[in-house]
Amino acid sequence: MAARLSRGDCFPDGSPGLLGDTIILSSEDDPGDTIRPRLDALGADVSRIHILQGERSSDGKTAGMTLEKLTAFLSAINQIRERGHDVKLLIIDPLNGFMGDGDSNSNEDTRKAADAICSLAEREAFAIVGIMHLNKGKGPPMTRVLGSMAWVAKARAAYIYTKDKETDRRLFLPLKNNLGPDVGGLQYSIQVRALYDGGIEAPYISWEGTANDDIGDILCAPNRSNRERPTPEQDEIENLLREAAPRPMPTGELAEKLGKSPQSVSNALGKLKIKGRVVYAQWGQWTVPTQETVTDSNKMLPSVTAVTSDRNVSETDNSDIGQGNETLPGVTVTTPDLFQNDPPLTIPPKYRPKYDFVFADMKKKGFSDEEADRRALEHVNQLYKAVGQ
């Protein structure tokens, strides 16, 4: 979400995107070796993403963050606005890591912490994405969120990332939604990109269409010891694509070489795509996944510092941003466009996520590759005409 906001891209469900900055508060992932590479793998404009690490007092000491330290959040927001940007999102990972002396299992302590940060979000007009782990219980989905039930009760919408034990699909499914229509969830896979001339490999999420599974059925499904093995036909398809790589192959050509019907091959390709063993290239053609390499002229990972609550915001100089001093902990190294090597299309790259989403949805409804491609292009071109480049 932070990467999409930084570029103003559409969201995974195809809805129009926003352009804005994100503040990340994380107690588990290192900004240099984990968060930054993952943002680079997604092609984020990292000048719009900021890590909030703590609050520095007048004596130079840095105290850890809690959800009730609103002055530190407000200081960061004001510094971002001084640069002409606007904060649209605050990511807190995990929520119970910033409770201070509060007990994350206590409804009273949880509501106190949540009410404080939510009041600031309402006043300053930004959204909050709070991350929590699941417990190892086997009760109803609502009870599977770690800590107090107040976390789920306070949220207006809650989703769970999980894996379908029957099919190995990775799913993003709704747990509750008090704000909008219930339109189901999404399925995705985790891919890897090599960064900085191959020096680091970073994972990223690739969205792969809609999912209408029930979260209760998924969480309560038993482990299946005998995993479904690829069929001989699926193995043959994958072997043909590997032999032809990097050239993609149309569904019709694969069907002809295998002596199978195009519909049969298309169904097999859909199952292989869910497993991440093949990818849809373009114009009804398929290939095997490969690692993309993203280079960056700055091979050093950025330094990240704490926001100072005692410094006058008006003294902030934009030239100091990202230089490891006491100003806003943003990073200003520009990441190359990850889409610059894509094959030429009739649509701008920023609309490619919408195309991928509609194509996957059409395939799920039983359309052929060619028809799904036609419908996806038609949908995206209509969006392009309405919104523009």
- Using pLDDT thresholds of 50, 70 and 90, give the confidence band for residue 338: very low
- Using pLDDT thresholds of 50, 70 and 90, give the confidence band for residue 348: low
100: left (phi over 0), alpha (psi -120 to 50) or beta: left
The total number of residues shown for the chain amounts to 389
The string of pLDDT tens digits covering residues 156-172 is: 899 999 988 777 789 99
Taking residues 322-327, what's their average pLDDT?
32
**Residue burial 325-340, b: 16+ Cβ < 10 Å; e: rest:** ebbbbbbeeebeebee
pLDDT at residue 4 tops 90: yes
Q: Counting beta carbons within 10 angstroms of the beta carbon of residue 87, is it exposed (0 to 12), middle (13 to 18) or buried (19 or more)?
A: buried
Pairwise CA distance, residues 228 & 22, whole Å: 41
29 CB-near residues (< 8 Å, 6+ apart): 35, 93
- Using pLDDT thresholds of 50, 70 and 90, give the confidence band for residue 388: very low
Higher-confidence residue of 86 and 180: namely 86
Pairwise CA distance, residues 10 & 354, whole Å: 7
C-alpha to C-alpha distances, 133 to 22, 93, 145, 304, 329, nearest whole angstrom: 22, 10, 6, 26, 27
pTM summary value: 0.59
Domains of the chain by start residue, with CATH: 2-224+291-320 (3.40.50), 344-389 (no CATH)
- Using pLDDT thresholds of 50, 70 and 90, give the confidence band for residue 226: very low
Higher-confidence residue of 154 and 368: namely 154
- Using pLDDT thresholds of 50, 70 and 90, give the confidence band for residue 290: low
How big is the CA angle at 181 (ends 165 and 349), to the nearest 5 degrees?
Answer: 75
How high is the pLDDT of residue 28? 83
Strands of the 55-56 sheet, one edge to the other: 62-63, 55-56, 307-308
C-alpha to C-alpha distances, 362 to 3, 125, 267, 366, 375, nearest whole angstrom: 26, 36, 13, 7, 8
How high is the pLDDT of residue 44? 92
24 CB-near residues (< 8 Å, 6+ apart): 2, 35, 49, 50, 51, 52, 91, 93
How high is the pLDDT of residue 85? 92
The string of pLDDT tens digits covering residues 39-77 is: 999 999 999 999 987 766 666 666 678 888 888 888 889
Lowest mean pLDDT among 91-95, 203-207, 364-368: 364-368
pLDDT at residue 336 tops 60: no
